[in-house]
Amino acid sequence: MLRSPGQDGPVTMYTVHTSRYVYHVNMTSAPRSYHHGDLARALVDTGFAIARTEGPAGVSLRRIAKELGVTPMAAYRHFPSADALMTVVAQRAREEFARTLAARPAVTEGAPLDRLRALGGAYVETALGDPALFAAAFLPVAVAPPEPDSPSGWELYRAVLPATDPATLQAQFTFAWSTVHGLAVLLGSGRYSAAERERRLASTLDLIESAIVHGPSSRAPAADD
């Protein structure tokens, strides 16, 4: 029989449901201030909030636990490692980033190539406009999330890319995404004026569209030995 946290008795395993994930948790000595299932969600919510306000440098398992008034060991009862928690925090940020892109009508309405260009522009503009969210979305972590992002950048790009076979579609997605991501990092470095950022964004979006429409150029023949 399940016992409330703090009651005497054998170790009890409790299944905690966050909004998307299920974690099997030892609840025997979990904090009394949380109902079953609340702490796992609170850990992610708090990590996301810190990342949004302070950037990823302020996010750590100890800091999140301190903000909630619980011990780090309480957090480890819900997540097997600090990386596991950081992975879900980063995923939460990526999903928020994707929702921000999808909220733009130009990204979801119109001809596919127009939407492709709008998506690339929205990606860079959102990254520059909300650098804390952008940085949090790509926290360096060593473990993969339990489930794919939802919504995701892949879903947005898949809807506008022209390829039909999986290999080409994946290649187009990787090219388009990595190009705008790298450009966002470069333009966010503070090295360029607003006018120069606009020019570089426009020329990069032209290049992405041309490469995807026309495909890779033929490689030069190898030189004779």
Q: What is the mean pLDDT of each run of 10 residues along the chain (225 residues)?
A: 32 36 36 58 92 86 92 89 92 96 94 95 97 92 90 92 89 95 95 95 96 68 49
Q: What is the pLDDT of residue 38?
A: 81
Quickly name the fold that domain 94-214 has: Tetracycline Repressor; domain 2 (1.10.357)
Q: Same fold for the domain at 13-80 and the one at 94-214? A: no
Name residue 163's beta-bridge partners: none
Q: Which fold has domain 13-80?
A: Arc Repressor Mutant, subunit A (1.10.10)
- Enter the tokens of residue 36: 């079953």
In Å, the largest CA–CA distance within the chain is 80
The domain limits of the chain are 13-80, 94-214
Q: For residue 217, what pLDDT is reported?
A: 53
The token duo for 46 is: 């708090």
| Predicted pLDDT at 37 | 58
pLDDT at 19: 45
CA dist 50 and 57 (Å) reads: 9
One-character DSSP codes across 124-183: HHHHHH-HHHHHHHT---SS--SS--SS-HHHHHHTT----SHHHHHHHHHHHHHHHHHH
Identity of the amino acid at 217: S
> Which amino acid does the sequence have at 211?
A
**Would the pTM of this model clear 0.85, i.e. be above it?**
no
Q: 43 in helix, strand or coil?
A: helix
Quote the CA–CA distance of 60 and 72 in Å, as a whole number.
10
- CB burial string 35-59: b at 16+ within 10 A, e below: ebbebbbbbbbbbbebbbeeebeeb
Give the pLDDT of residue 216.
62
pLDDT value of residue 28: 32
